[in-house]
Amino acid sequence: DAKTTQPNSMESNEEEPVHLPCNHSTISGTDYIHWYRQLPSQGPEYVIHGLTSNVNNRMASLAIAEDRKSSTLILHRATLRDAAVYYCILRDRSGGSNYKLTFGKGTLLTVNP
Amino acid sequence: EAQVTQNPRYLITVTGKKLTVTCSQNMNHEYMSWYRQDPGLGLRQIYYSMNVEVTDKGDVPEGYKVSRKEKRNFPLILESPSPNQTSLYFCASAVGANYGYTFGSGTRLTVV
């Protein structure tokens, strides 16, 4: 799977928007961009994924650059419950039978009250 | 509620004593997988299964076995646990490559 680069950590204030960046300059045309988060002492949790167009769901929005070499996960109003490690992962939709997710180090998001 | 259930949540065992960590999903997913998470190494895939009776190795399969006799269950078996298998283990399931994965809450295993 292609590599992603994320900041090690970010900080936000409660009820403010948060923009979490991810660079993936070697992305291929068949890679989906997935985002997961892991709250303390819990398993990873699916947040959102997309291919080319921006995506919205109840948890977040995903903005994908036109050249697809970067993307941004947007949390519209951060809450204390959003404090977690956020992982940006590329998943090859044509990658054979193993739907493996390759986790990097992710971004540790701290939300201040 | 759609979920992946792992048991036990915590386990302390001794070197060489066989153990099984169970994983069950109620979403009729064909794909299931096991990961381990270690400080500084992140999450790494151990084994995966595409369907009943179809399993294959991930990145770190040594010392582990799995079976998939039923669609909903995917147990992880440690025939002779060693201290280097002390870790946090997660089971996951998915409909397919283009969908989100659902992870279990984790099993913290300590081998002494």
Mean pLDDT (whole number) for A85-109: 84
Low-confidence residues in chain B, pLDDT < 50: none
The most confident of A24-33, A100-109, B69-78, B89-98, by mean pLDDT? B69-78
Q: Could you tell me the strand order of the sheet in which A55-56 lies? A: A18-23, A70-75, A61-64, A55-56
Asked whether the beta carbons of B46 and B32 are under 8 A apart, the reply is: no
Asked whether the beta carbons of A48 and A109 are under 8 A apart, the reply is: no
**Per-position b or e across A43-68, b if 16+ CB within 10 A of its CB:** bbbbbbbbeeeebeeeebbbbbeeeb
Helix (H, G, I), strand (E, B) or coil at B81: coil
Interface test with A, best of B43, B60, B89 (most A CBs within 10 A): B43
Side chain identity, residue B66: V
Nearest CA in chain B to A94: B97
Cα–Cα distance, B9 to A78 (Å, whole number): 29
B39 CB near a chain A CB, below 8 Å?
no
Of A32, A43, A99, the CB nearest to B106: A43
Please state, in angstroms and as integers, the Cα–Cα distance from residue B91 to each residue in A32, B29, B87, following that order.
Answer: 22, 13, 13
Q: A63 falls in which pLDDT band (50, 70, 90)? A: very high
A101 CB near a chain B CB, below 8 Å?
yes
Of B33, B42, B101, the CB nearest to A104: B42
The phi and psi torsions of B54 (rounded to 5 degrees) equal -120, 105
Contacts of residue A91 in chain B, CB cutoff 8 Å? 97-98
Q: Which of A26-35, A88-97, B41-50 has the lowest mean pLDDT?
A: A88-97
- Contacts by B64-71, CB closer than 8 A, 24 or more apart: B64/B34, B66/B34, B68/B32, B71/B28, B71/B29, B71/B30
Contact flag A93-B98 (C-beta cutoff 8 Å): yes
pLDDT at B2: 86
pLDDT at A29: 86
First to last CA, chain A: 37
Of A42, A99, A104, the CB nearest to B105: A42
Cα–Cα distance, B57 to B55 (Å, whole number): 7
Residue A18 has pLDDT above 70, yes or no: yes
Q: Which of A10-14, A48-52, A100-104 has the lowest mean pLDDT?
A: A100-104
Cα–Cα distance, A45 to A14 (Å, whole number): 21
